[in-house]
Amino acid sequence: MFEGFEWKMVQLQESSVFVRHGGEGPPVVLLHGHPRTSATWHRVAPRLVERGFTVVCPDLRGYGRSRGPAPTADHSGHSKRAVAQDVVAVMSSLGHDRFMLAGHDRGGSVALRLVLDHPEAVSRVALIDCLPLSEHLSRITAKFATQWWHWFFFAQPDVPERVINADPDSWYHGDPESMGQENHDEWRAATRNPDVVRAMLEDYRAGLTVDRRDEETDRAAGKRIECPALALWSLRDDLEDLYGDPLKIWADWAPGIRGHGIDSGHHMAEQAPEVLATALGDFFSG
């Protein structure tokens, strides 16, 4: 994976962030979702390098090989604000104070927070298979609670750790053929680490509490995404089924946002990498 890329561990004040980076040209950051690592981009990142970009793929705080602080009662150490600050600091350490950004799933929530908190750092943002967390939570229905029940299970204290760590291979389903063997092996090692599992749960606990409050505060203050924005979603996932056209929701956060669905399941970086890389490359070249 990632032939020609370099990797390093960036030590920050309260976290250590594992990052892969390669290529030459305008910098692009790719943020993975749950429960993946930066390896999920192994079929997309090289294609973007071929398009003339510098590509940076970090493991989010607590995921993969990145580590954050011990969990706290308010979950702030694993908030999207804290993780977004990690990304800004990592990019600065690599010599990039302004960059383009794409986030998938939970990485999309980090991307939203980053562009709201650090608008000077982001020139373009792509939001993949995600909506603002507060938009999900303001639209809770029995259907949502049934299909996305894991959000509320993960929020329970202690129980999900015991359940998941008892048999992580059964909880997290990964296919080495569709993921790629090396990506699968890296992901499997991460999900079998109780510290990683705890951090991933803290990500969701923060989402229901501090992250929601941060988004609602920004919304009340009229903060919006000011840079060009792209929304992409998987046609074989359930975002459209739950909400209809995602662009109608995103338009309140990013006037002028454009986007479309892609024929893929949820993990489109692995399942539809060529189409996704083309969409991102075209957008970032605009």
Residues serving a catalytic function are 105, 266
Distance between CA atoms of 129 and 127, rounded to whole angstroms?
A: 7
SS3 for 223?
coil
Per the CB < 8 A criterion, the answer to whether 17 and 58 are in contact is yes
Q: State which amino acid sits at residue 78.
A: H
Distance between CA atoms of 193 and 31, rounded to whole angstroms?
A: 21
Q: State which amino acid sits at residue 109.
A: S
Strand 16-22 relative to strand 6-11, pairing: antiparallel
Distances (CA, A) of 254 to 183, 219, 230, 272: 33, 11, 9, 26
Measured N-to-C along each axis, helices 194-208 and 181-191 cross at an angle, to the nearest 10 degrees, of 80
What does the block give as tokens for 34? 């749950």
Per the CB < 8 A criterion, the answer to whether 31 and 129 are in contact is no
What does the block give as tokens for 259? 């986007």
Side-chain half-sphere CA neighbours of 190 within 13 A = 28
Per the CB < 8 A criterion, the answer to whether 219 and 249 are in contact is no
